Amino acid sequence: MTTTMMRLRQHLGLVSSPSIYTSAIARFGNNTPHRRRTTRSRTMSSSASDAAPFEKPRAVVKKVLAESQPEGQGATVRRSIGRHELRNLDPFLLLDEFTVYKPAGFPDHPHRGFETVTYMLEVRCVCSTQCFAPLLFCSTHASCSLKRPHPCGSGYWLLQGAFTHQDFAGHKGTIKTGDVQWMTAGRGIVHSEMPAGDGVHKGLQLWINLSSKDKMIEPRYQELESKDISRGESEDGGVEARVIAGEALGAASPVYTRTPTMYVDFTMRPGSRLHQPVPEGWNAFVYVVDGEGVFGRETATAHYCLVLGPGDGVSVWNRSTRPLRFVLVAGQPLGEPVVQHGPFVMNSRAQIQKAMEDYYYGKNGFERAGQWSSSA
């Protein structure tokens, strides 16, 4: 190893479990055409029958509790995929449920070789009357300054959750409650993600691997405001879906998934059932955001990640007295070697060393890194 590379390795802190956001940021204080790819599916909801319309229903094969840990600058995340119990689930590299208060956040940091999907969640709880507001639940929360009366008369919608994003290519914007940002880092991005205001800011961030042929493509963004996210509903009104990628309950997302992906946010009334097809051969998991549900034969509550085994669909039953909210994510495996060091994900150790060198010396996609810093 050359003296230069030894200094580079020492500078970037090559350790076995580097912070994914900050391990490589000590030095620095032509999108592709849009195409639509969706997964054709047939989805049903039933409150009268347990019968699942699947030849090979998917069962839960692993259950991981997302425990809190520090990340970024003063932020807290609940990590499920990416923990030692679940290093990755091809093509998924990481899933964080983050909770951030100013001045904490995720300051300037680089990425290469994968995509990040940031989905902002509303801060909410369930009111005493158990009303079922579309995709938002309410509660009396007198200490919250960001609220407005809810039609049920006994509580509030809590309207918090927004992140300001900036990158070294000049892209800047705010991802508000319910919005989605699908960022393809490709050959290189340096960016920051910081709270846009006071209060609590919650969301999910999913990392999706790119195939070897796509790892060095130019960065690009797909962004959807909450009002533009496709929504579906079961015939009996018991299940609602916000379709971030793929299809569910008759709704299809316009997002182009370079690595074929399904990502759906489901909300289920008490007593409702859902039978959701999932493409055979894809890896799939569920992350419970709120409430309690039965997934196949496994019961899970908030902050649990459930890895689903092979099959053609998953059945869910909300047998509790509270609404259930979870995301179902599935993707086509890449079947390629995964070598990760913090914010760089490539196919070999040599490519990781090259990514660190490119970042350190400002080349091959990182030319603007040395002269840029966010205004956050």
Annotated binding site for Fe cation: 109, 111, 191, 193
Q: Which helix (H) or strand (E) holds 64?
A: strand 60-65
Contacts of 159 (CB under 8 A, 6+ apart): 122, 146, 147, 148, 177
Binding-site residue set = 109, 111, 191, 193
- Are 327 and 369 contacting, i.e. CB atoms less than 8 angstroms apart? no
- Are 125 and 137 contacting, i.e. CB atoms less than 8 angstroms apart? yes
Dist. CA 177–CA 202, nearest whole Å: 9
Q: Where do we find the tokens 């890449």?
A: 334
- Dihedral over Cα of 301, 333, 365, 350: its sign: positive
- Are 256 and 322 contacting, i.e. CB atoms less than 8 angstroms apart? no
According to DSSP, the β-strands at 239-245 and 106-111 are unpaired
Q: What are phi and psi of 268, to 5 degrees?
A: -125, 130
- Dihedral over Cα of 205, 206, 207, 208: its sign: negative
Dist. CA 231–CA 178, nearest whole Å: 12
Q: Which helix (H) or strand (E) holds 263?
A: strand 261-268
Q: What are phi and psi of 197, to 5 degrees?
A: -165, -170
